[in-house]
Amino acid sequence: MQDAFIQVWRQAGRFDPARGSAAAWLIALARYRALDLIRRHGREIPVAEPPDRADDAPDALDVLTRTAEGAALHRCLEGLEPERRRLVVMAFVRGLSHGELAAALRIPLGTVKSSIRRSLQSLRACLDR
Amino acid sequence: MTDDQDPPDLAGEYVLGTLDGAARAAAEARLAHDPAFAAAVTAWQDRLAPLAALAAPADPPAAVWEQIAAAAAPPPRRVGLGVRFWQASTAGALALAAALAGIMLLRPPAPAPGPAAMAVLAGRSGLPVFVAVARAGQLVLRPVGAVTAVPAGREMELWVLKAGATSPRPLGALPAIGRTGPAGAPVATGAELLVSVEPAGGAPGGVPTGPVIYRGKLAPL
């Protein structure tokens, strides 16, 4: 996180308010930095974990409804099949790659890739409506 | 598989973070020279940002902030110039040293819980100079760049301009280490923080009289 925020200050001039929200930009930069570290040096937490984590709980997504943008995303996620929704949320929250998702959930890599693609297409169509 | 090279929502997969090392690096390289791809990535960042609410909140240790400020500060050469320049004015040099060394804490008499927000205060060049974090009725300013030296007999004063308001409200002088800031915080999201150069003791009449040298809008954290 520290590196991510240092990167933010260095790149602050590149932020264009006309193109996106500042919060989303900050979140994205912090996540990208974390993903870089994970992909390069591996993660400290094992990928395969018992399925009782917050992102797997049925009502975990309810926190999204606190903001208007979150409520829209929540509604669109609810429109996905439960397994696909779980894949998308796990990927975002835990920073898992296609391969890691396949290993963690014991489903074929091709299935993970096509599920993510279809989920993203559905989300985009739903959110941009 | 050729479709691995360019799936319809490569930007979405990049933002979601599912691309493996090589594919991720390729997407990153493409950001620099493909404006359409960069725009698609920005759109996906906005779409998926609310998911960050699912991550467990974690407050970094104070040392992390210290190191961020140190790493984000400009090269020592520029600091040295500023200090040399202001050796003529003890007050100015002290103020600059204090600003570069430490944290400025403005604590309202009755801290009220409120939404967290942050602002990056920048000068006309756009380079960030202060980072302000407003949380639980407390506003913390941290220098992250070369702070302009203020002439002798003058001081920097912090103001808040609420969204829609026409005149700013004074928040106190900078640096204000250990000083109790005036009441008036918490500062609302969407408000703008301004720093102006004023006569020592504060702007007379409670309105800025000097030039506004830094400004930045508070965005929700």
Q: Evaluate whether B64 touches A2 at the Cβ level (below 8 Å).
A: yes
Which residue of B lies nearest to A68 if distances are taken between CA atoms? B50
For residue A124, the tally of other CB atoms under 10 A from its CB is: 19
Higher pLDDT, A115 or B173: A115
Say yes or no for a CB contact (<8 Å) between B18 and A70: no
* Structural domain boundaries enclosing A99: 49-129
User: Same domain, yes or no, for A83 and A107?
Assistant: yes
Q: Which of A11, A76, A26 is nearest to B117 (CA)?
A: A26
User: Same domain, yes or no, for A36 and A84?
Assistant: no
Provide the pLDDT for residue B7.
61
CATH number, position A74: 1.10.10.10
A 33-72 → B contacts, CB under 8 A:
35, 39-40, 54-55, 60-61, 63-64, 66-67, 69-70
B204 CB-contact burial (10 Å; exposed 0-12 / middle 13-18 / buried 19+): exposed
CA–CA distance from B15 to each of A58, A88, A120, B191 (Å)?
A: 24, 11, 11, 29
User: Same domain, yes or no, for A22 and A56?
Assistant: no
Q: Give the residue carrying structure tokens 């390729």.
A: B26
Number of H helices, E strands in chain A: 6, 0
Q: Evaluate whether B145 touches A13 at the Cβ level (below 8 Å).
A: no
Provide the pLDDT for residue B176.
45
Tokens standing for residue A65: 């409804």
Provide the pLDDT for residue B31.
84
- Determine the residue type at B169: R
pLDDT confidence band for B203 (50 / 70 / 90): confident
Say yes or no for a CB contact (<8 Å) between A97 and B20: yes
Question: Above 80 in pLDDT, residue B63?
Answer: no
Whether residue A89 lies within 8 A of chain B, CB to CB, comes out as yes
Question: Above 70 in pLDDT, residue B53?
Answer: yes
A 7-26 → B contacts, CB under 8 A:
9-10, 12-13, 19-26
Say yes or no for a CB contact (<8 Å) between A55 and B54: yes
Higher pLDDT, B220 or A49: B220
Question: Above 70 in pLDDT, residue A61?
Answer: yes
Domain definitions of chain B by residue range:
2-54, 62-220
Question: Above 90 in pLDDT, residue A56?
Answer: no
Which residue of B lies nearest to A125 if distances are taken between CA atoms? B47
User: Secondary structure of chain B in the HEC alphabet?
Assistant: CHHHCCCCCHHHHHHHCCCCHHHHHHHHHHHHHCHHHHHHHHHHHHHHHHHHHHCCCCCCCHHHHHHHHHHHCCCHHHHHHHHHHHHHCHHHHHHHHHHHHCCEEECCCCCCCCCCEEEEEECCCCCEEEEEEEECCEEEEEECCCCCCCCCCEEEEEEEECCCCCCCEEEEEECCCCCCCCECECCCCCCEEEEEEEECCCCHHHCCCCCEEEEEECEEC
Q: Of B43-47, B151-155, B184-188, give the range with the top mean pLDDT.
A: B43-47
Nearest by CB to residue A9, choosing from B43, B52, B128, is B128
Whether residue A107 lies within 8 A of chain B, CB to CB, comes out as no
User: Same domain, yes or no, for A59 and A1?
Assistant: no
Judging contacts by C-beta atoms under 8 Å, the chain B residues touching residue A32 are 17
Total tally of structural domains belonging to chain A: 2
CATH number, position A12: 1.10.1740.10
User: B122: which strand partners?
Assistant: B128, B215
Provide the pLDDT for residue B67.
57
Which residue of B lies nearest to A118 if distances are taken between CA atoms? B9
Say yes or no for a CB contact (<8 Å) between A63 and B42: no
Q: Which residues of B116-144 are buried (b: 16+ CB within 10 A; e: fewer)?
A: ebbbbbbbeeebbbbbbbbbebbbbbbbb
pLDDT single digits (tens) B140-174: 777 666 677 778 888 888 888 888 888 888 888 77
Mean confidence (pLDDT) of chain A: 75
Q: Which of B1, B2, B6, B16 is the best substitution to test chain A (most A C-beta atoms within 10 A)? A: B16
Provide the pLDDT for residue A120.
95
Q: Which residues of B47-79 are buried (b: 16+ CB within 10 A; e: fewer)?
A: bbbbbbbbbeeeeeeeeebebbbeebbeeeeeb
Provide the pLDDT for residue B104.
38
Which residue of B lies nearest to A30 if distances are taken between CA atoms? B52
Provide the pLDDT for residue A14.
55
Mean confidence (pLDDT) of chain B: 68
pLDDT single digits (tens) B66-121: 555 555 554 433 333 333 333 333 344 334 333 433 333 333 333 344 557 778 88
Query: What's the mean pLDDT in A89-118?
Result: 90
Q: In angstroms, what separates the C-alpha of A51 from chain B's closest C-alpha?
A: 15
Judging contacts by C-beta atoms under 8 Å, the chain A residues touching residue B218 are none
CA–CA distance, B110 with B81 (Å, rounded to integer): 40
User: Same domain, yes or no, for A37 and A9?
Assistant: yes
Higher pLDDT, B189 or A103: A103
Nearest by CB to residue A6, choosing from B43, B45, B72, is B72
Say yes or no for a CB contact (<8 Å) between A20 and B126: no
Provide the pLDDT for residue A28.
73
Provide the pLDDT for residue A80.
93
Nearest by CB to residue B49, choosing from A5, A27, A61, is A27
Weakest mean pLDDT among A23-27, A36-40, A50-54, B94-98? B94-98
Q: Which of A1, A3, A9 is the best substitution to test chain B (most B C-beta atoms within 10 A)? A: A9
User: Same domain, yes or no, for A109 and A62?
Assistant: yes
Share of chain B above pLDDT 90, in %: 5
